[in-house]
Amino acid sequence: MRIATYNVNGINGRLANLLGWLGEAAPDIVCVQELKAPDDKFPGAAVRAAGYGAVWHGQKSWNGVAILARGAEPTETRRGLPGDPDDTHSRYVEAAVGGTIVGCLYLPNGNPAPGPKFDYKLRWFERLTEHAKTLLDSGAPVVLAGDFNVMPTDLDVYAPERWVDDALFRPEVREAYRRLIEQGWTDALRTLHPNERIYTFWKYFRNAFGRDAGLRIDHLLLSPSIAGRLVAAEVDRDVRSRQRASDHAPVWIELAEANAASPRQAQRPRTA
DNA sequence: ATGTCAGGTCATACCTGA
């Protein structure tokens, strides 16, 4: 089973790009961020025609998240994080797909820092971490995927010294990410590629992609009950080079099939 | 500071967020 996360940066403006990639990569589940469209402007018919069921939580102009499932209808289990009824941003949607709980998130950018936007980012991160603990405690197989807007370490930034005061890299934010991981989550890409420079985002400015001046900010986190099934994790870099591309590339993981006969299966992938 | 996008509007040229 392949699960991807892709910040599309406008699902309608870049629909052809998204559909092209879906057709080639055929991921089983896709977490999409930055729809930049209200619920009634989500291109549900086109997504369905591509073979995907979907749940979405849209918003006019900004934010917006969706979960796509190939040949299946995701069952929505939550929209919006608990902990702040006054939060109007559409940044979290969660669904069950074939026994796996998928949380799709778009963590606030937080710039400029310091400031109210940065405060909101830190509060949102805290709410995410609290909810993540609840998910872990359930024991269910969970994937938390999306645009976290945080580079976890120096290895995840082309020029760390230039980003130390940025909301995506300030110590408070890296610390928040570390606390989340330490609950027991597995950062899929970093686990399979511990020493590689891997980026998922390149700014549109100054030929950032051409210079490979990138950031790793899109992450897939696995609960312990599913982490043992991780067999691959990659970035579809080529997608970033295309016409009308998002500034993010899709990131995907491959999970070995769960043993249908024993739902509480082993923590390690089975070998032939 | 620079740069590039997409979406939205007191619209055909700006503004914002990223």
Joined tokens for residue A112: 């400029």
A1 vs A22: CA distance, rounded Å: 15
Give the predicted TM-score (pTM) of the model.
Answer: 0.94
Mean pLDDT of A113-123: 95
**Predicted pLDDT of residue A52:** 98
Domain assignment present for A272: no
Residue-number span of the structural domain to which A165 is assigned: 2-255
**Predicted pLDDT of residue A258:** 86
A19 vs A11: CA distance, rounded Å: 10
**Predicted pLDDT of residue A272:** 44
Domain assignment present for A266: no
A206 CA to B1 C1' distance (Å): 13
Average pLDDT, chain A: 95
Establish how many alpha carbons lie within 13 A of residue A196's alpha carbon, considering only the half-sphere containing its beta carbon.
11
Closest CA to A126 of A159, A173, A188: A173
What's the length of chain A? 272
Per residue in A72-81, is it b (16+ CB within 10 Å) or e — as a string? eebeeeeebb
Domain assignment present for A224: yes
Q: Would the pLDDT of A263 be above 70?
A: no
**Identity at A46, one-letter amino acid code:** A
Q: Would the pLDDT of A15 be above 90?
A: yes
**Predicted pLDDT of residue A259:** 75
Q: Would the pLDDT of A197 be above 70?
A: yes
User: Cβ of residue A37 near strand B, that is under 7 Å?
Assistant: yes
User: Cβ of residue A10 near strand B, that is under 7 Å?
Assistant: yes
- DSSP states along A69-101: EETS--EEEEES-TT-TT-----EEEEEETTEE
**Predicted pLDDT of residue A156:** 98
- DSSP states along A35-46: --S-GGGS-HHH
- Based on the residue annotation, tell me whether A40 is a catalytic residue of this protein: no
**Predicted pLDDT of residue A260:** 55
Cis before A114? omega within 30: yes
Domain assignment present for A269: no
A206 CA to B2 C1' distance (Å): 8
Domain assignment present for A263: no
A241 vs A219: CA distance, rounded Å: 20
Q: In 3-state terms, what secondary structure has residue A109?
A: coil
Mean pLDDT of A71-94: 97
Mean pLDDT of A196-222: 97
Joined tokens for residue A38: 């209200």
Q: pLDDT tier at A265 (50, 70, 90 boundaries)?
A: very low
Mean pLDDT of A218-222: 98
Domain tally, chain A: 1
Domain assignment present for A270: no
Residue closest to B7 C1′ by Cα: A61
For the CA atoms of A87, A91, A95, A99, the dihedral, rounded to the nearest 10 degrees, stands at: -120
Domain assignment present for A159: yes
Query: Which residues, in sequence order, are CB contacts of A227 under 8 Å at separation 6+?
Result: A186, A191, A267
Cis before A269? omega within 30: no
Per-residue pLDDT reduced to its tens digit, A30-55: 999 999 999 999 999 999 999 999 99
Domain assignment present for A109: yes
Query: Which residues, in sequence order, are CB contacts of A220 under 8 Å at separation 6+?
Result: A3, A5, A143, A144, A145, A187, A188, A189, A233, A251, A252, A253
**Identity at A196, one-letter amino acid code:** E
Q: pLDDT tier at A68 (50, 70, 90 boundaries)?
A: very high
Protein-proximal positions, strand B, CB < 7 A: 2-8, 17-18
Closest CA to A1 of A258, A267, A265, A259: A258
Q: Would the pLDDT of A168 be above 80?
A: yes
Q: Would the pLDDT of A238 be above 90?
A: yes
Q: Would the pLDDT of A271 be above 70?
A: no
The answer to whether the beta carbons of residues A104 and A31 sit under 8 Å apart is yes
Q: DSSP code of A210?
A: T
- Based on the residue annotation, tell me whether A158 is a catalytic residue of this protein: no
Q: Which nucleotide minimizes the distance between its C1' and the CA of A117? A: B17
**What angle separates helix A171-181 from helix A116-138, to the nearest 10 degrees?**
10
User: Cβ of residue A166 near strand B, that is under 7 Å?
Assistant: no
Q: What is the CATH number of the domain that holds A197?
A: 3.60.10.10
A141 CA to B3 C1' distance (Å): 42
